[in-house]
Amino acid sequence: QKEVEQDPGPLSVPEGAIVSLNCTYSNSAFQYFMWYRQYSRKGPELLMYTYSSGNKEDGRFTAQVDKSSKYISLFIRDSQPSDSATYLCAMSAGGATNKLIFGTGTLLAVQP
């Protein structure tokens, strides 16, 4: 069983929809949670960072962490065709090396 599980999709939604992307994890030591966006043939781009439990909002994006359920989510409001990309969750227990464990990514397509 992988430490981090993420539905690969693809997920197809109409423009303007609310998108929900999710990851589950098994390591209760994870404290740092990130979401990356990766466009085709590009490097991953850090989108959101959250420490421990709770919500964080940045424009149309909201990240949620529920440590009791070992579940994290990324919500995208008013989705745009430019949001079409692969979204990767990543998490870390912290410490000196700052190593991240990544989900395999969810491919999102926003249809105009």
Partner 1 sequence: DAGITQSPRHKVTETGTPVTLRCHQTENHRYMYWYRQDPGHGLRLIHYSYGVKDTDKGEVSDGYSVSRSKTEDFLLTLESATSSQTSVYFCAISESNQGQYFGPGTRLTVT
Where does this chain bind partner 1 (CB under 8 A)? 6, 31-32, 34, 36, 41-46, 49, 51, 88, 90, 92, 94, 96-100, 102-105
The residues with which 63 forms a beta bridge, in sequence order, are: 56, 74
What's the rounded Cα separation, in Å, for the pair 12 and 109? 5
Q: Is the Cβ of residue 14 or residue 96 nearer to partner 1 in the bound state?
A: 96
Q: Give the pair of three-digit tokens for residue 26.
A: 């098994």
Closest separation between CB of residue 49 and partner 1, Å? 5
Q: Is the Cβ of residue 14 or residue 43 nearer to partner 1 in the bound state?
A: 43
Q: Is the Cβ of residue 15 or residue 45 nearer to partner 1 in the bound state?
A: 45
User: To 10 degrees, the CA torsion angle through 49, 52, 55, 58?
Assistant: -20
